[in-house]
């Protein structure tokens, strides 16, 4: 069955991989990697549909939940853990689940991906609701753990998305929305941490970033909900306020202090001249969209 999967077939350009010079191999690998973005471009309509579903789920108070095994699970986890510092989300708003649990992030848990029941149980353990949206990730598109999770999500009427690298994938058939990025065979046969992993990471980047833009976490192209957890991010926040308002460094620093280190609030205060309380009310009225808050 594996021989019919694009991700498992042999790449004719690297049949003599063990005889190639380092430079020739790297050149070939780079040429193969270039195909990933083009393959994703063909799936933009499905990715856009998934982003719209995520935004709708978030507006209803639902969570974005990534679930996968091995490399796919790690990519979902990576995207999930980056959302709180980048977009100011709480840790339970974007969740990453991997077959075998968190310990599987650094060491493979053999057999965990082969259990449909485990996928279902992991979603039950986080109390999945119909307001949530589940994104199942599997390069092959046939991982039982992911299939079980998507089937369970469907059974309680939660929205489901599948991200794979094979056309007509099993997970794509289960999910409401199928994103199937066809990159062609890997340079190292079956090593789906390569092009498939890159494709999955790029798709997750799109899903989380575009959906966060859609719920007001961004002003222009500035990440105005960045969390000020270290000195570098404090300085970044000052620059964000300066860029958004054309104010001086000292003014940005002053208003960030007045806004309790809330970049978004500082920006509204500067652009509207309103007090802390009035600016906060504006943001609450506009669901956190700065552009709407400053013209309301």
Residue 3 among the catalytic residues: no
Q: How many CB atoms lie within 10 A of CB 16?
A: 9
In whole angstroms, what is the distance from residue 255 CA to residue 225 CA?
A: 15
Could you read off the pLDDT of 153-186 as tens digits, one per residue?
A: 999 999 999 999 999 999 999 999 999 999 999 9
CA pair distance 103, 33, nearest whole angstrom: 30
What are 247-275's pLDDT values in tens digits? Answer: 999 999 999 999 999 999 999 999 999 99
In sequence order, the 6+-apart residues with CB closer than 8 A to the CB of 67 are 73, 76, 96, 97, 98, 119, 122, 123, 134, 135, 136, 137, 145, 146, 149
Mean pLDDT of 11-23: 94
DSSP letters of 190-224? Answer: T-TTTHHHHHHHHHHHHHHHHHHHHTT--BTTB-T
Q: Which one is catalytic: 93, 113, 180, 253?
A: 113
Q: Evaluate if residue 108 carries a pLDDT over 90.
A: no
* Phi, psi at 97, each rounded to 5°: -120, 135
Identified catalytic residue from 8, 82, 151, 254: 82
- What is the pLDDT of the chain when averaged over all its residues? 94
Q: With bands split at pLDDT 50, 70 and 90, how would you rate the model's confidence at 296?
A: low
Rounded distance between C-alpha atoms, residue 269 and residue 290, angstroms: 10
**Sign of the C-alpha dihedral computed for residues 168, 170, 175 and 179 taken in this order:** negative
Looking at the predicted structure, is the pLDDT value of residue 110 above 90? no
pLDDT band, residue 2 (cuts 50/70/90): low
Contact 242, 279 (CB under 8 A): no
Has 93 been annotated as catalytic? no
CA angle 282, 287, 293 (to 5 degrees): 35
* pLDDT reading at 3 higher than 60: no
What pLDDT is recorded for position 6? 86
Instruction: Note the pLDDT of residue 1.
Output: 56
């Amino acid at each position: 069955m594996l021989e019919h999967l694009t991700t498992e077939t042999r790449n004719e350009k690297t049949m003599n991989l063990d005889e190639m010079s380092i430079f020739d191999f790297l050149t070939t690998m780079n040429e193969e990697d270039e195909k990933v973005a083009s393959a994703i471009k063909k799936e933009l309509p499905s990715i856009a549909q998934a982003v719209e579903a995520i935004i709708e789920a978030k507006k209803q108070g639902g969570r974005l939940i990534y679930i996968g095994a091995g490399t796919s699970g790690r990519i979902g986890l990576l995207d999930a853990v980056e959302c709180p510092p980048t977009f100011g989300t709480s840790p339970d708003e974007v969740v990453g689940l991997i077959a075998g649990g968190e310990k599987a992030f650094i060491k493979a848990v053999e057999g965990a991906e082969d259990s449909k029941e485990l996928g279902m149980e992991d979603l039950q353990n986080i109390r999945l609701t119909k307001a949530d949206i589940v994104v199942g990730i599997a390069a092959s598109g046939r991982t039982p753990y992911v299939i079980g999770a998507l089937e369970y999500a469907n059974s309680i009427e939660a929205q489901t998305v599948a991200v794979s690298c094979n056309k007509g994938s099993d997970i794509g058939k289960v999910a409401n929305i199928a994103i199937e990025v066809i990159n062609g065979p890997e340079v190292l046969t079956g090593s789906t941490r390569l092009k498939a992993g890159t494709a999955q990471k790029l798709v997750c980047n799109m899903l989380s970033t575009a959906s966060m833009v859609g719920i007001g976490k961004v002003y222009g192209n500035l990440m105005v909900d960045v969390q000020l957890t270290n000195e570098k991010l404090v300085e970044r926040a000052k620059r964000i306020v300066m860029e958004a308002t054309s104010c001086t460094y000292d003014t940005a620093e002053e208003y960030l202090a007045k806004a309790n280190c809330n970049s978004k609030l500082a920006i509204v205060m500067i652009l509207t001249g309103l007090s802390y309380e009035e600016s906060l009310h504006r943001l609450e009225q506009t669901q956190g969209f700065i552009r709407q808050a400053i013209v309301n």
